Amino acid sequence: MLDDKIFSMKEDIISSVQDSIRIKSVLDEEKEGMPFGEGVHKALEHCLSLSEALGFKTVNVDNYVGYAEYGQGEEMVAVLGHLDVVPEGDGWTYPPYAAEIHDGKIFGRGAIDDKGPTIGALYALKAIKELNLPLNRRIRVFFGLNEETGSKCVKHYVDNAGELPVCGFTPDAEYPIINGEKGIVGGKYRRKLRQQGEIKLSSINGGIAPNVVPDYAEAVITLPHSKIDDIKKASEGVEEIKLEEKEDSLIVKAYGISAHGSTPEKGKNAISHLLLFLGKLGFEGDTKEFLDFMNKYIGLYLNGEGLDIYLEDEISGKLIFNLGVISGNSQEINLQINMRYPVTKKYEDFIDTFKEKMSLGKLEEIYLGYKGSLYVSPETEFIKKLQKVYEEKTKDKAELISIGGGTYAKAMPNVVAFGPIFKGELLVEHKPDEFIAIDSLIKNVQIMAAAMYELARD
């Protein structure tokens, strides 16, 4: 019954997802009434207007978050989606904000993370409404605006006496059910450069976000013309490095493979490869000290081994370290890092060691913040209900898993991550040519509708 109703909405679902993708909703400069920038605000307005057109009660919470609501009852079930996206980056085959359809897939930034699932959740609720299915709890579909850069949106909702759910899910990860999420640490650091030698670092840049493995980085160096041949020889056989010669400088370009910061083993960090190469070129003074430190303590390590902060548990695996962004000039270099620690470990288990090591490199801490790890018992009632729905809809066992990624489940109690990525599907979030397959989109809407009904009818 629900499945058929959703399938009848297929073209409307596709069209609405495309409309949302076409809005570039990357975090931008704050404006009056737009805490996360104009593009993100437009994405919220679009979803609230769509919700009203579909017949739902809508609420805008101070332009930080919005939601659509349906049903009766004192208790509320939450479905948390988000409309903000990471920057598009380079390397796209199709325009990142055109929402073009090719080979049964909608391409665009946010297609899978998380506009497709969020719009899909709205239509799942519409199907429940149109069939007039009996509910004992209200259902709210939330439109978050700051998931990619801090979840300040949901924090604002929670801190300002927003009603909390008795249970719920966020369709912003993988199936079957994620009941464990690693703790996440974000940091910004600065290294002053006061002394340089004959070879000088003029500028360095790479990466688009701390939680993305950078696929490109470059440095501009000035040096005596007599040394250029030596550097060219050093680059021979280094597949990640390309050189471009200018009149009075040399551009060193490093190429990697983009991936989500929670799975750096699936990518190749261009910043790290750039620093390793620069470390071979004979820099002196502060630049040499910086490069020596970075290559010794951070280097190509993925799990904090060089910093002596390696942690691991059986449930969620290893600590993850990602050097996501670098920028700088001849006076200073700025870094942004992202770490994820196991679900049974604590921030206090490693942070003192980390700070001690960073101080050895004369890296000034500009910002350091964290979200604790999350673990929901397998015996929790709503976990069992989500397992029941998943197994009925997919005929596959609903195993519980832990991830390195962080979701809204950390920001609002009684919520876990549930979908939208099925087993065996490519992980394309945060990558060029991000897409959602239309068949998967519709299947997700059907699963979400069944889950909403199961959680809200008791």
β 57-61/65-70 pair status: antiparallel
Inter-residue contact 261 to 185 (CB < 8 Å): no
User: Helix 38-53 to helix 116-130 angle, to the nearest 10 degrees?
Assistant: 20
**Main-chain dihedrals φ then ψ at residue 450, nearest 5 degrees:** -65, -40
Angle at alpha carbon of residue 396, lines to 395 and 399, rounded to 5°? 145
List, by residue number, the catalytic residues. Answer: 84, 147
Q: Mention every residue, 6+ apart, whose C-beta is less than 8 A from residue 246.
A: none
DSSP for 253-305 reads: EEE-B-EETT-GGGSB-HHHHHHHHHTTS---HHHHHHHHHIIIIITT-SSST
| Tokens, residue 37 | 């920038």
DSSP state of 112: I
3-state secondary structure of 102: strand
Angle between helices 10-21 and 38-53 (to 10 degrees): 160
- Cα separation, 281 vs 196, whole angstroms: 13
Per-residue burial over 154-179, b if 16 or more Cβ lie within 10 Å, else e, is bbbbbeeebeebbbbbbbbbbbbbbb
User: How many CA atoms within 13 Å lie on the side-chain side of 226?
Assistant: 1
Q: Are strands 177-181 and 138-144 parallel, antiparallel or unpaired?
A: unpaired
